[in-house]
């Protein structure tokens, strides 16, 4: 029983750190894309978008068992974390030698494509329907309409 509690605590800690790291990374990266974006980004704005993704996806898994929902959320947070980590080579590069904003945008979309396929792969492993990858994209598209 103690091992289960400690495992859940580690997962919860990872979720908090991954969400914060994702929001922080995206808020930094958004500055490189500011020419394309109509809103001013901040850590808090990004944090709201990341948490909004979790809430949005909840609409599509409402009838699933609680444990499966938590498992899915952890996968969703992990994919977002992976995407954030993939943004850091450009963030690091920008500190030394600024890239054109069009290159930063292109790289960002490459990361999104990777995230989409990783999300889809993880859905298959968990046994959830693939349409959740498309609702994930739908949320991103709705946010894109808002920020442009």
pLDDT of residue 14: 96
Q: State which H helix or E strand residue 2 sits in.
A: helix 2-30
pLDDT at 132 over 90: yes
| pLDDT tens digits for range 22-54 | 999 999 999 999 888 888 888 999 999 999 999
| pLDDT tens digits for range 48-102 | 999 999 999 999 999 999 889 999 999 999 999 999 999 999 999 998 998 899 9
Instruction: Find the domain containing 14 and state its range.
Output: 2-147
Would you say 46 and 22 are in contact if contact means Cβ atoms under 8 Å apart? yes
Burial environment of residue 38 by CB neighbours within 10 A (0 to 12, 13 to 18, 19 or more): exposed
pLDDT of residue 134: 94
The first and second tokens of residue 75, run together, are 């996968």
pLDDT at 148 over 80: no
Sign of CA dihedral 31, 35, 36, 42: positive
Burial environment of residue 70 by CB neighbours within 10 A (0 to 12, 13 to 18, 19 or more): middle
pLDDT at 1 over 80: no
pTM of the model: 0.90
- Measured from the Cβ of residue 67, the count of other Cβ atoms closer than 10 Å reads 8
pLDDT of residue 4: 59
Q: How many domains does the chain have?
A: 1
pLDDT at 3 over 80: no
């Amino acid at each position: 029983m103690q091992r289960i509690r400690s495992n859940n605590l580690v997962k919860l800690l990872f979720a908090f750190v991954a969400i914060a790291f994702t929001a922080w990374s995206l808020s930094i990266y958004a500055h490189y894309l500011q020419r394309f974006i109509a809103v001013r980004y901040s850590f808090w704005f990004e944090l709201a978008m990341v948490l909004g993704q979790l809430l949005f996806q909840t609409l599509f898994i409402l009838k699933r068992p609680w444990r499966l929902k938590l498992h899915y959320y952890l996968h969703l947070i992990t994919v977002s974390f992976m995407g954030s980590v993939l943004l850091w080579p450009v963030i690091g590069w920008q500190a030394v030698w600024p890239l054109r904003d069009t290159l930063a945008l292109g790289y960002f979309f490459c990361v999104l494509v990777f995230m989409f396929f990783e999300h889809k792969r993880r859905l298959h492993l968990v046994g959830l329907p693939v349409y959740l990858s498309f609702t994930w994209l739908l949320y991103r598209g709705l946010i894109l309409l808002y920020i442009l």
